Structure 1
Amino acid sequence: MRAELLDAGALTLTLAGSGLLLRAVYDGQHCRLELDGVTGPVLLRSRRAGRVEAASSLALCLTGTYVSVLTQDHTGGPWTGRARADLATTHPAAARLVRTPAWLEDLQVGHDGPAHSLVAGGFGQLGLRDLRLVTHADGRPYDDGTGLLRFLATSAGPGPFGSGHTSVWALDPAALDHSTLDHGGGALTHTADLFVRRLGSRGVHGDHAGHLLRDDDAWLLATSTWGDFDPDRDDASVAVTLAATGADLLTGVHVVAGEPLPLPADGPSVGVWDPHLLRTGDGWLVGYVSATRFFRFHPVLAEGPDLDTLRLRATDPERRASEGTTLLALPPAPPDEDPGDGAGPGGAVGSSKTTVLVSDGRDGPRGLRGQWAVLDADLRPRGVLAAAYPSNIPWPTLAPHGDDWLLVTFDDTRHGGRVCGYGTHGDVVVMRGSRSAS
């Protein structure tokens, strides 16, 4: 929830649920966070970030198990985190409650002090990352007749992995003129938010880093279980869930029931993530990454006649920092076409109908750093995309646009300030390139 202050006065925002009271307090000069539950009161105030003398708006956010206070200044600039707490640490019993729909439905909001434009609702995002094209099961971009391209993304929350969630966006390629191409302009529109209830759990998670595809009359949503990931736990792991529903996941807010999607690994693995699914004439292909430890990960490809009987097809453990494994279905290239190095994706396919794209981060081995790798369906190198490589490990999401390609990805631009920290990153980056080999 958020509100605008009147005359730069004091204001308190509250979220109250069974067994837990959350307060964001601004006294005109400082912000603090107050938590009160069955394990007692907790007061959090940052000596540096908590001092605010020119706040115009105040926000209190509950995202996953993270509670945050943010402010906005009089210029209408970006929101900045002032205090944050993880209920899993301060109030473990309450942390289990805040994921349950019944507790959330009874949540009460309030304020003390003069304010206007009080708004309560879902959290937006402090950055977008993990952008992936919404497709039909055979790999074609989903087409509803509007001319819009649909993308799944991770909406970054005010903190680590567990404060984010999955969102859906519509991109209007016609709006990507010369002046807005690099920044998206008004071409990108938020249309939906998606949450997952895992098998055997009453809780709802903001699992993300996945793929949304249309399979006949149903939507399939594959996500990575980052929603409650804690790297400090001895049993820390990440898996993939798959949900199927007839609901319209392109609009509105949805909670879908997810079941485990078993993905084979090529050896000891602490986690698999970034699923991308493709139905072929022989069954299914699934691309993802597997981690031998956190955070050392490489691309893997599985295949099977159905998604319940997948087996390992290919792996490339020499890549140690590669994410966003993406399956691109294209017609075979002419027999005399030589893709060469630096090829566009059309030239890199060769005789294979399926091309695999991966993003090689800058922490990878020498020769495999900071590039968009083009591989065949057995993960053998075929070249690289001739495109600029932003910061972080941006995903190689390609969408056809007339005779060109759009590369829709993200970088590690941070939002929310020091208190929110890592996990709030992601500015959308759009590039245009030729379909032909260069």
Structure 2
Amino acid sequence: MFPEFKIVRRQRPVTIAVESSTFPRPAANAAIEAACDGPVSLSFTSGGDVLTGFYDGRRVSLAVATGSGRTSHASRRHGRVGRGVGRFALTLTGTMLTALTYEGGVWVARARVDLTEVGIEPRDESWLAGLTAGHEGSAEDVRSGAFGQLGLRDIRVVTYADGSPFREDDGTLLLTATSAGPGFFPTAHTSVWALDPVTYDLVHRGALYFVRDGLVYGDHATHLVRDGDEWLVTTSTWGGFKAPDKTDPSKPWSPVGVTIARSRADLTRGEHVLDSTPLALPTDGLMSVGVWDPHVVRRDDQWLVGYVSARKYFDFHTVLASGPSLDALSLRAARTDRTATEGTTLVPLGGTVVVGASDGRDNPRRVRARYPIFDLDLNEVAELRSAYVTNLPWPTLIPVGDEWLHVAFDGTPHGGRLPGYGTHGEVVISRSV
């Protein structure tokens, strides 16, 4: 069904401050970094709130000053640094404030604090409207703007509504990706990238943020679709996710869902804040606590939507729905025999559409570490022969002439041990042979 693939390029475009962006910020996604040869402090300020990162030559710490007082935050295990620090950075990603040092060619997180725990909601539009950045001490070569990424994952090709790749006049392909922040999923956001199909070079083009419940989120695992003269955007609400507390089930938690937005602006460049509304994805008969990874195709006047449904966090499987419109979908099929399968991807092929997915290593033994290909009833009909790297790489398949590209990602972290899970991954590009 598909040819065999061989890896042709690995790359990881790590960026802390995207200088092409400006303050104030449209979302809680900001960074300032500087070279330093002595003590330095970097700060974000909004109204009476002052968020400061300090590096004194030996240790890194944070201070948060509000109208109600001042708190200090340091890590005993990770706050002390050795020699060779070349740059110092302060980032705001979602509700997380993080200080990082650049040493030995790698950014390392040294201190962090969740601002909601000290009474600040940085995703509020009015708070963001007053946000500025500043510095004191031995700061040189100062850069500020949007936070970029520590890694990329959840990569999808930008498509037309029929599922074919959206290409620019020179043949450049466009991708959306989850730009990993210094921590778990709420520190990430959706980014847009240009991919040269010959050199495989990636160039950052912009970012998408989403307004819901009165706050601006860096939601991700996004599919960007050109539908007539407008853009359709479906995304997963990971920006506000809070996992259930296994030790205290009474604590509030926030599930993941899927939202939809439409825009006539050029979403392939620059930063955009989109008003999003819930997209009702059917889970009839399924024990579902959340859905994510939307992918949409319109075929023969019917919409097909592939996604993931979770029985619990984290036990999840592939689902397919269809309907005459995106607000009139019904469940078509579900692969409930899986427990760690995601990245549901609809691929036009030979006059029909097939469904690709990623069987993670936490699945039953017979369906681990592989890319199954299903028909539209989710019967498995083939297996993609391409490198299954670490974590849960997706089957993002792109036709290029008579050949195919497979754009995946791995689970390699970046940023040291303090951020924990969520700083992956490296982009892995394969080509058909």
**TM-score strictly above 0.5:** yes
Partner of 1:285: 304
Contact 2:34 2:143 in 1 (8 A): no
Which AA in structure 2 matches 1:204? V
Aligned 8 A contact 1:328 1:356 in 2: yes
Q: Deviations over 1:97-143 (max 9, x none)?
A: x1123321211222121211112210000110000010000000002
Q: Are 1:407 and 2:406 matched, yes or no?
A: yes
Contact 1:22 1:36 in 2 (8 A): yes
Instruction: Quote the residue 1:57 is aligned against.
Output: 87
Query: Do residues 69 (structure 1) and 99 (structure 2) align?
Result: yes
Counterpart of 2:279? 261
Q: Aligned pair 1:275/2:303, yes or no?
A: no
State whether residues 224 and 275 of structure 1, in contact with CA within 8 Å, keep that contact through their aligned partners in structure 2.
yes
The CA deviation at 1:39 is 4.7
> Structure 1 or 2: larger strand share?
2
* Correspondence 1:78 to 2:92: no
1:38 Cα shift? 4.2
Tell me what 2:364 maps to.
365
* Aligned: 1:42 with 2:71: yes
The residue that corresponds to 1:192 in the other structure is: 206
Within 1, Cα distance between the matches of 2:70 and 2:170?
Answer: 52
Task: Answer yes or no: is the 8 Å Cα contact 1:39–1:91 preserved in 2.
Answer: no
The residue type paired with residue 256 of structure 1 is L
Map of 1:91 onto structure 2: 118
Contact 1:320-1:365 at 8 Å conserved across structures: yes
Q: Please report the RMSD computed on the Cα atoms of aligned residues, expressed in angstroms.
A: 1.3
Q: Which residue of 1 is the match for residue 264 of structure 2?
A: 246
In 2, Cα distance between the equivalents of 1:249 and 1:274?
A: 19
Q: Match of 2:176?
A: 152
Contact kept? 2:207, 2:272, Cα under 8 Å: yes
Please state if 1:325 is matched with 2:361.
no
SS of equivalent to 1:47: coil
Quote how far apart the aligned CAs of 1:41 are: 2.2
SS at structure 1 position matched to 2:148: coil
Match of 2:7 in 1: none
**Which residue is equivalent to 2:15?**
none
Verify the 8 A CA contact 2:32 2:145 in the aligned structure 1. Answer: no
2:335 is matched with: 316
2:162 to 109, 116, 138: 138
Write the distance in 2 (CA, Å) between the matches of 1:365 and 1:38.
53
Q: CA deviation at 1:382?
A: 0.4
Q: Which amino acid aligns with 1:310?
A: L
Structure 1 residue 69 displacement after superposition: 0.1
Alpha-carbon distance in structure 1 between the residues aligned to 2:209 and 2:158: 17
CA distance in 1, matches of 2:255, 2:302: 28
Contact 1:2 1:57 in 2 (8 A): no
Q: Which residue of 1 aligns with 2:12?
A: none
Task: Tell me how far 1:238 sits from its aligned partner.
Answer: 0.7
User: Match of 2:21?
Assistant: none
How far apart, in 2, do the equivalents of 1:100 and 1:123 lie? Answer: 17
Question: How far, CA to CA, are the matches of 1:210 and 1:5 in structure 2?
Answer: 34
Equivalent residue of 2:174, what SS?
Answer: strand
Return the offset for 1:290: 0.3
One of 225, 232, 255 as aligned partner of 1:213 = 225
User: C-alpha distance in 2, partners of 1:392/1:27?
Assistant: 37
Greater mean deviation of Cα atoms: 100-109 or 236-245? 100-109
Amino acid at match of 1:189: V
Tell me how far apart the structure 2 counterparts of residues 85 and 398 of structure 1 sit (CA, whole Å).
39
Deviations 1:1-24 (A, max 9, x none): 334344x21001111112421110
Q: Is the 8 A contact 2:341 2:358 kept in 1?
A: yes
Name the counterpart of 1:380: 379
Deviation at 1:219, TM superposition (A): 0.3
Tell me the SS of whatever aligns to 1:173. Answer: coil
8 Å Cα contact 2:54/2:62 also seen in 1: yes
Asked if structure 1 preserves the Cα contact closer than 8 Å seen for 2:35 and 2:142, the reply is: no
Rg larger for: 1
Q: For 1:103, what is the secondary structure of its paired residue?
A: helix
Following superposition, the deviation at residue 278 of structure 1 comes to 0.3
Specify the SS of the correspondent of 1:46.
coil
Q: Which moved more, 1:28-37 or 1:238-247?
A: 28-37
Distance 2:390 2:252 in 1: 30
Query: Could you tell me which residue of structure 1 aligns to residue 22 of structure 2?
Result: none
Q: Cα deviations across residues 120-175 of structure 1 (Å, max 9, x unaligned)?
A: 21000011000001000000000221211111100001111111000011110111
Tell me how far apart the structure 2 counterparts of residues 144 and 115 of structure 1 sit (CA, whole Å): 40
Name the SS of the counterpart of 2:286 in structure 1: coil
2:418 is aligned to 419
Render the CA deviation track for 1:312-365: whole Å, top value 9, x for unaligned.
001110011001000011224xxxxxxxxxxxxxxxxxxxx1100010000001
Structure 1 partner of 2:60: 31
Partner of 2:355: 356
State how many pairs are aligned.
395
Structure 1, gaps ≥5 residues long: 177-186, 333-352
Cross-structure match for 1:344 = none
Separation (CA, whole Å) in 1 of partners of 2:177 and 2:418:
23
Note if contact 1:3-1:119 (Cα within 8 Å) is conserved in structure 2: yes
Matched, 1:161 2:161: no
Counterpart check, 1:204 vs 2:216: yes
- Displacement of 1:202 after TM fit? 2.2
Task: Return the TM-score normalized by structure 2.
Answer: 0.89
Q: Secondary structure at the match of 1:102?
A: helix
Structure-1-length-normalised TM-score = 0.88
1:202 is matched by which residue type in structure 2? G
Q: Given the alignment, which residue of 121, 131, 151 partners 1:107? A: 131
